[in-house]
Amino acid sequence: MCLEDSMSGAEDDRSSHAQLSSQVFLDLVDSVIADVASECHRIARLGLDRDLEVVEEELRLSVEARAKVADPSNNLETNSKYVVDIFGQTHPPVASEVFNCMNCGRQIVAGRFAPHLEKCMGKGRKARAKATRSTTAAQNRNSRRSPNQRYSPHPNLGSENQLASEDCSNGTVRENGKGE
């Protein structure tokens, strides 16, 4: 072997090296191929890509929907006052149900409840310092109104509360009236 090597010279040596390295390289590539194959096999057998398909479908649909909304030729409906929702039902821009405000007890249209609460509770960006007074007054009035005193934090102070609310209930009404 030694004799052969020395006779064949450096050129043969280099070519055998090249051959060897391409062998090693192919082995590397083959093992990466095996990795990919077993990874894909696992995903397929466990059905892990089914989620992926669903996600992809949803993504596609949402892109389509967005394009549809953005399409100016398609906004015949969106321009009109009542927009149809996904069930084909129309809704007014301001919800029209009426219910009682749990803070002051007034009747409020649902669509205007948020601005009302801003003033009523004195916490919104439009709320003024005075509003806090009206809030306490409203609370006191509520506690007086409720037939059951169990929920009041200080049932013994009932008479005091009444006095306090009597004091500023006039102011409260005026203020709320101005705000609406």
Partner 1 sequence: MKHSVNRPTTPDEDVADAYEKDELTLRESINTKMVESGEKENLMELVRDRLVECGWKDEMRIACREHVKKKGRKDVTVDELIRVITPKGRASVPDSVKEELLNRIQNFIVSAAP
Does 33 bind partner 1 (CB under 8 A)? Our answer is yes
Intra-chain end-to-end CA distance of the chain, in Å: 106
Contact status, residue 79 vs residue 92, Cβ threshold 8 Å: no
Does 38 bind partner 1 (CB under 8 A)? Our answer is yes
Does 68 bind partner 1 (CB under 8 A)? Our answer is no
Total residues in contact with partner 1, by rule CB under 8 A = 30
Does 99 bind partner 1 (CB under 8 A)? Our answer is no
Q: Which residue, 12 or 58, is less far from partner 1 as judged by CB?
A: 12
Does 56 bind partner 1 (CB under 8 A)? Our answer is no
Contact residue for partner 1 among 45, 125, 145, 178 (CB under 8 A): 45
Does 19 bind partner 1 (CB under 8 A)? Our answer is yes
Does 54 bind partner 1 (CB under 8 A)? Our answer is no
Q: Which residue, 2 or 94, is less far from partner 1 as judged by CB?
A: 2
Q: Rounded to whole angstroms, how far apart are CA atoms 91 and 24? A: 70
Contact residue for partner 1 among 7, 47, 87, 109 (CB under 8 A): 47
Contact residue for partner 1 among 6, 29, 55, 164 (CB under 8 A): 29
Which one, of 10, 9, 13, lies nearest residue 21 by Cα?
A: 13
Give the shortest CB-30-to-partner 1 separation in angstroms: 7
